[in-house]
Structures are given as C-alpha cells and as structure tokens.
C-alpha cells in the first residue's frame, strides 16, 4: 500500500486524477470503478479539466459505480446516477452505453446484483477502482460488520451513515435506509485501487484502514490485502498516521529508485555489448 499525503483537498483530487488519467493513456478502454461523496468531486473536477484542456479521451472508457440508494428514481436530485452526471459524465465524451450505475428501483434484488457482477466480468473486470471512505471506515456501503468476501448486494445502512447523508436531503425522513453496493470482495477484485480522503473527520478511519488490524469493523482495512493500493490523503486526514515519515520517504525517493533501476539496466546492457563486442 502506497500512502501519498498532500496539502489539501484540491491536491487530493489532482493526485488521484493523475493516476486515473495515466491508466487511461495506457489503456484507452479502461474499466473504472467510481465512487460518490464529497471527496471524489475534486478528482472528477480534475479529470474534466484534463479532458477539456488536454484532450483526455473518455470515448472508450467503461465505468461501474460502487453503489446507489434503494428507492430513489434514476433522476432524483440525490441519486448517485444524478451525482455522476453532474460531476463527470456531462462534461466528458463518455459513451452513455458504457456507463453502469446500480438501479435504485429494482424488485428482484438478488437477480440484479448477480447481473451487475456479471456485467463487470464481461467488461474484463475493473482496472482502477476509485474509493472514498466513511467516518467509520466503510467503503462503498459496506458498513462495519460486512463480510470481507461480500459481493454486490442489498445493504442496510447504519444510523451514522443515514445521519451523515441527511444533510443532502430537505427532510431527514427522506434519507434512504437501504442501498445496493459492490461488496468488499468485488472491490478487491479490481487490479488497482485508489482511495481518497480529506479532512479531520476521516483521520481515524484512515489510521484504522492503513495501520490498524484487518477487520470487518473497518471494511477499508481489507485493502491491506490488495497488491496495488494507493491512498491519497490530505494533511488533516493523515494526521493520525504513525508511519508518516516512512510514507513521505517512499514518495520522495520513488524517482531515485527508478533512476537506480535504469542505471542498473544501462550497465547491464553495456556489459552485454562489451561481452559480445
């Protein structure tokens, strides 16, 4: 797990967007898992800027959203479908047929969730999964206690999650109590994961996810099992990390490590040429 600590919220978005954009340049038909919430907005803002100013091409990109509230129509102001159109899709050249957001108005939940898993498999699996993190360490709507092997399913939201989301609704009683969400196991299937976090309220969750024990009580901690995870956090969100010095050392010396490897390759080629010369 690589931990990148940056100054503030905007830098979190720029850093995460750079990772996703680089992956898109290497694979134009990248399959991207997308998250909603306040923190990923700066990432989407930067991806839109890269598209408009730098020509970042979304025409072949395929997306799968993590979750959606159960009971909200697709075009409800607080649906995650609306969120994604507002913050990303309407401003880039993505093919609408390549967009996948769980439906909030399904009757056969089990069948739909199996179908969503099937769609991900048919697309070749998620290449890069973008994640936010809840105050209690949840990712997607995988609340504390969720199985770390879970797949896409219907999930009951905790009281804390409902309270956190109530600020977005005119009436607290309108906040959905259920959601369709990718499971922790589904998330771990992604080839690369980028988790973004900003602000003091996320500090304990980040500390538990990065440095705490792997536990279903902090579902983000399961990312410690993944071979390629990048956590991008601002100073406030990273404030409780104990190994801060090491994380900074890794980032500051990463370029030097690449230079050492390149030097070794050049030396090996020189010796081979001398041997054959």
Q: Do 255 and 229 sit in the same domain of this protein?
A: no
Which residue of the set 136, 189, 208, 234 is catalytic?
136
Containing structural domain, residue 63: 2-242
CB atoms within 10 A of CB 151: 17
The per-residue pLDDT for range 156-176, each reduced to its tens digit, is 988 888 888 777 787 777 888
The question of whether 86 is a catalytic residue gets the answer: no
Coil, strand, or helix at residue 136?
Answer: coil
Count up the domains in the chain and report the number. 2
| Known active-site residue 67 | yes
**Active-site residue, selected from the candidate residues 11, 143, 208, 234:** 143
Both 231 and 210 in a single domain?
yes
Q: What is the pLDDT of residue 168?
A: 75
Which of the following is catalytic: 138, 189, 208, 236?
Answer: 138
Could you tell me if 54 and 74 lie in one domain? yes
Are 190 and 87 part of one and the same domain?
A: yes
Q: Which segment of 76-80, 91-95, 202-206 scores lowest on mean pLDDT? A: 76-80
Do residues 251 and 4 make contact, with C-beta atoms less than 8 angstroms apart?
yes
Examine the domain organization and report whether 167 and 134 are in the same domain.
Answer: yes
Catalytic residue among 67, 127, 208, 236: 67
Distance CA 80, CA 89 (A): 12
SS3 17: helix
Number of Cβ within 10 Å of residue 210's Cβ equals 24
For residue 215, give both structure tokens.
């536990």
Same domain? For 275 and 147 the reply is no
Concerning whether 136 is annotated as a catalytic residue, the answer is yes
User: Does the annotation mark 234 as catalytic?
Assistant: no
Is pLDDT above 80 for 28? yes
Same domain, 261 and 234: no
Average pLDDT over residues 214-241: 98
């Amino acid at each position: 797990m690589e931990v990148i600590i940056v100054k503030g919220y905007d830098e979190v978005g720029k850093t995460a967007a750079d990772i996703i954009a680089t992956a898109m340049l290497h694979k134009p038909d990248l399959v991207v898992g997308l998250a909603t919430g306040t923190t990923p907005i700066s990432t989407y803002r930067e991806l839109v800027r890269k598209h408009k100013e730098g020509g970042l091409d979304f025409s072949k990109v395929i997306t799968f959203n993590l979750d959606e509230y159960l009971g909200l129509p697709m075009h409800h102001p607080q649906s995650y479908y609306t969120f994604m159109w507002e913050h990303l899709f309407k401003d880039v050249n993505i093919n609408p047929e390549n967009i996948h957001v769980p439906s909030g108005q399904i009757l056969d939940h089990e069948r739909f969730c199996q179908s969503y898993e099937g769609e991900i498999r048919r697309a070749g699996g998620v290449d890069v999964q973008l994640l936010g993190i809840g105050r209690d360490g949840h990712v997607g709507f995988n609340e504390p206690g969720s199985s770390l092997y879970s797949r896409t399913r219907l999930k009951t939201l905790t009281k804390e999650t409902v309270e956190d989301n109530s600020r977005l609704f005119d009436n607290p009683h309108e906040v959905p109590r259920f959601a369709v969400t990718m499971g922790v196991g589904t998330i771990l299937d992604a080839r690369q994961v980028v988790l973004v976090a900003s602000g003091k309220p996320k500090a304990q969750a980040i500390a538990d996810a990065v440095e705490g024990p792997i536990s279903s009580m902090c579902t983000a901690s399961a990312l410690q099992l993944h071979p390629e995870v990048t956590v991008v956090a601002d100073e406030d969100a990273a404030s409780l990390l104990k190994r801060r010095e090491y994380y900074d050392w890794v980032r500051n010396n990463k370029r030097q490590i690449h230079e050492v490897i390149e030097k070794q390759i050049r030396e090996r080629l020189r010796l081979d040429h001398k041997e054959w010369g």
